[in-house]
Structure 1
């Protein structure tokens, strides 16, 4: 929250500084173009000059901040044209009404005043200026968004490199591992089919975790679901099928299966539930819910906390999931963690 507020103030201060310099340059240009006396007649003298100048800067800063960061950038990112265009129209109606009141009521402009404009001319000028302001705002919003996308891509590349280095650091030689698992599977398939099946599951789980996926470290949702179910099955076998797990899945369209998600993101939450949860309570089952449509993916994992000594955890898995979701989806996702003395819950919502 503090970081968010600091970021907003930083954005406002940048616009304030740029707009102040622009206003000073425009004021000096008018003095050079039409002379000091004429310019002061338009802007006022003495106290009124300072009031008008500060008012112009503060108003301009607020206008450009709202247009760039709350309208133009969200429009570029989300493409929700109808909703945001309606907001833009309402914003400019309010802005024009305010400027009208400021010029004709508060300032009390009269036909005898220097630089006086009629209401008709005022509205025409305001409309033209609004178009210019929109063009400037969209231009800067595009620059800011492009810069954010570039940084976003660099961050993804760094995260991918870290993941690759971590895999190299912690993995046993994959060929040796899989050859060994294959040997054990062959030796146990006849004497202990369940043990052989467990070895086969372990081999597939390890293969999935160590595989070299796309450059962003993402996989189709269908693969993540398949692997998650194997992890659930593996844990059931470990505990003689005594685990109390409630799994609900609702995939409304086949298109959702091809939507991409961060590799092991859902699996990490499931494994945490098995690691830290109470697994034998019939009334408080480990709950796993997955719903997917063309436009949204929703995933929930909840569990009752295990009594007694807790397994040590540094929270690296959750931190990694949060960071990767943020890098991939930004404002299009939410990752919620709810916790009290007895229960723990994770929710992921991804808007596609």
Structure 2
């Protein structure tokens, strides 16, 4: 519902601005060339109102499509080829529609000119509309980025306050883990290894990363593998896990603990002992895209309590950082659960 309201707000904004511009343009023509000449071009009586309303509605729809469905996505994604093809197709359809309207439905003004003059005028007008749309889209995108940055700052502050509220003194914690490791390394090497893994994961989570809370993909993958190893130790290496990794570029940055959270969620709620249904973890990373998927069979019987805060946090941070260049998908049925992240870099 909020998404629909946003689109209607965008349309109404364009409608009001375009209506004001059309009225000013019409009055300017009246002043420059006189009322009789202007009425000859636009029609008289009811035809004038029909043409005027038609022009405003058409202009509103075209500018809405150009700005919000072509120019802004093109600026954000930095992919020009596909939007430009859509733009050319839109103007071919628009020119065809205007030809039919001016020459057959309402043969006034330009309808009395030659077809060649009409096509040249249509192309010039189309170029102007594209340039105006790109200019407006650039301004809108800049404003969205400013708001986006403000949101990130607010989220960062909230996260810092939350950390202060719930944190345990890290020095006390790490000293305690070091003590446990020292006491168990000879008598139980695996338990000591698990303690060491936990210490490294917590150090990673508590470290002071960049202001956006992002880390290189390679570091996040390293911690994710530590979580997998720690859970294997926890369950005596009986977990059924299928892990696939294809990393061409590990320099890209992602939100800290985003992959770790999804993997830990699978261990928490998944059936990890079904030999026919492994926990499946898939990671692909290229210079242009990161794809990550975790799927598991749901655990039968009593479920561990969950607030969903971790998944919501990952989703919000991805949205704040990448906007329309990312998707976070959750699919589930009675027996299976799947999380999927896709980021266009």
**Same fold at TM > 0.5:** yes
**Is 1:214 aligned with 2:213?**
no
Structure 1 segment 146-225 matched on structure 2, within 5 A: 146-225=142-221
Structure 2 counterpart of 1:119: 115
Structure 1 segment 223-302 matched on structure 2, within 5 A: 223-251=219-247, 253=248, 256-302=249-295
1:330 to 301, 323, 334: 323
TM-score normalised by structure 2 residue count? 0.95
Give the C-alpha shift of residue 116 in structure 1. 4.3
Query: Which segment is superposed worse, 229-238 or 98-107?
Result: 98-107
**Is 1:133 aligned with 2:129?**
yes
Residues 114/328 of structure 1: CA separation in 2 closer, same or farther (3 Å cut): closer
Count of aligned positions:
345
Give the C-alpha shift of residue 6 in structure 1. 2.1
**Any stretches of 5+ residues in structure 1 without a counterpart?**
none
Structure 2 counterpart of 1:107: 106
2:341 to 316, 335, 348: 348
Q: Distance in 2 between matches of 1:250 and 1:139?
A: 40
SS at match of 1:291: strand
Structure 2 counterpart of 1:74: 73
Structure 1 counterpart of 2:46: 47
Q: In the alignment, is the contact (CA less than 8 A) between 2:102 and 2:110 conserved in 1?
A: no
**Any stretches of 5+ residues in structure 2 without a counterpart?**
none
Structure 2 counterpart of 1:37: 36
SS at match of 1:149: helix
Q: In the alignment, is the contact (CA less than 8 A) between 2:110 and 2:118 conserved in 1?
A: no
Structure 1, residues 89-141: CA drift from partner, whole Å, max 9, x if none?
222222222222211222224xxx79943333322222222222122111110
Structure 2 counterpart of 1:4: 3
**Is 1:94 aligned with 2:102?**
no
Give the C-alpha shift of residue 34 in structure 1. 2.5
Q: Distance in 1 between matches of 2:120 and 2:300?
A: 72
Residues 322/114 of structure 1: CA separation in 2 closer, same or farther (3 Å cut): closer
Give the C-alpha shift of residue 5 in structure 1. 2.2
SS at match of 1:310: coil
TM-score normalised by structure 1 residue count? 0.93
Q: Distance in 1 between matches of 2:119 and 2:290?
A: 47
Give the C-alpha shift of residue 41 in structure 1. 2.1
Q: In the alignment, is the contact (CA less than 8 A) between 1:185 and 1:200 conserved in 2?
A: yes
Q: Distance in 2 between matches of 1:129 and 1:314?
A: 55
Which of structure 1's runs of 4+ aligned residues deviate more than 4 A? 113-116
Q: Distance in 1 between matches of 2:101 and 2:339?
A: 51
Q: Distance in 2 between matches of 1:327 and 1:303?
A: 27
SS at match of 2:238: coil
SS at match of 2:294: strand
CA RMSD of aligned residues (A): 1.7
Q: Distance in 2 between matches of 1:114 and 1:348?
A: 52
1:311 to 304, 312, 318: 304
Structure 2 counterpart of 1:25: 24
Q: In the alignment, is the contact (CA less than 8 A) between 2:177 and 2:196 conserved in 1?
A: yes
Q: In the alignment, is the contact (CA less than 8 A) between 1:167 and 1:210 conserved in 2?
A: no
